[in-house]
Amino acid sequence: MGVIVQGERSFSTINPLIMEAIHITLPQKSRAVRLIDITQPSAIALATAAVRHHPVLVQLPTVFALLAAPTSEGARQLDNCKMRLAGKNYGTAIGSLHKFLAQAQPASLPASFNTARHFSNMEGAFIRLQFRQRHCQSQTLRNGTHQGLLLSGAFRELFISIENAFEDYPSDDMWSGNNYGAPLCTSCNISGDPGGSIVSLDKAMEFARQRKIPFIITTKNAACEKGSYPIFGFSHEGVHLHRRGPGMERFAGRIPASLQRWQA
């Protein structure tokens, strides 16, 4: 069974839908945006194929997000899609936690919180690590740091699929000498929009129509608490909170109190 597109016919094979999703344009506002549930058998393959050509709009449990290829071209596409303001950086959506942690600078993590088992407790948050030396600046690096969003279930499967698809792509200066293949991940909105991140399907569909994004990967597992995910920065000195977000109470119990460098 192929992808089921909500409100339209089923497809017995993924290839025609992938090709249509890649090449379709939305010249008029009335044209419907396709809604594809992430649990449908071919949804992940569709998104993995499409992200090579344009950003993919995904409904995460608390917020709508854009995914793009982990390349300078992917960052350029996001810049155009979001009308990105200067001085912003892109995070990623973590596929393999081991590969993410392998990018961290030696001795930059807390001695008591430095393994994949420890960091698996950070599901539902961005994890900021020291990927490169502090002088490194790029679309994905700020003072050498980079942050990745850790989720579970079908979302993680999607992120892993995209990461695997870019495993052997050519060296990209955006990563300062050591490519990282997880998809770029950013909020689905126009950069600097006073309305903030998009959390409703209606607004996400309007954004997709305006920015000519042909489909949205949706979920039935939306969380009650909405908003952008919290950001935690890890260093050998401890854990700093760079942005509050849904589920803050959980993380206070998952990160050792001796490492917490923020006020409740």
Of the pLDDT bands very low, low, confident and very high (cuts 50, 70, 90), residue 26 is very low
The domain locations on the chain are: 14-259
- Residues 87-97 have a mean pLDDT of 96
Of the pLDDT bands very low, low, confident and very high (cuts 50, 70, 90), residue 16 is low
Q: Which amino acid is at 100?
A: F
Fold observed for domain 14-259: DHBP synthase (3.90.870)
Over residues 55-66, the pLDDT tens digits come to: 999 999 999 999
Q: Which amino acid is at 179?
A: N
Over residues 125-160, the pLDDT tens digits come to: 999 999 999 999 999 999 999 999 999 999 999 999
Instruction: State the pLDDT at residue 5.
Output: 40
Reduced 3-state DSSP string for 197-254:
CCCCHHHHHHHHHHHCCCEEEECCCCCCCCCCCCEEEEECCEEEEEECCCCHHHHHHH
The CA-CA-CA angle for residues 44, 49, 18, to 5°, reads 90
Q: Are 66 and 186 in contact (CB under 8 A)?
A: yes
The CA-CA-CA angle for residues 223, 228, 234, to 5°, reads 110
Q: Are 83 and 207 in contact (CB under 8 A)?
A: no
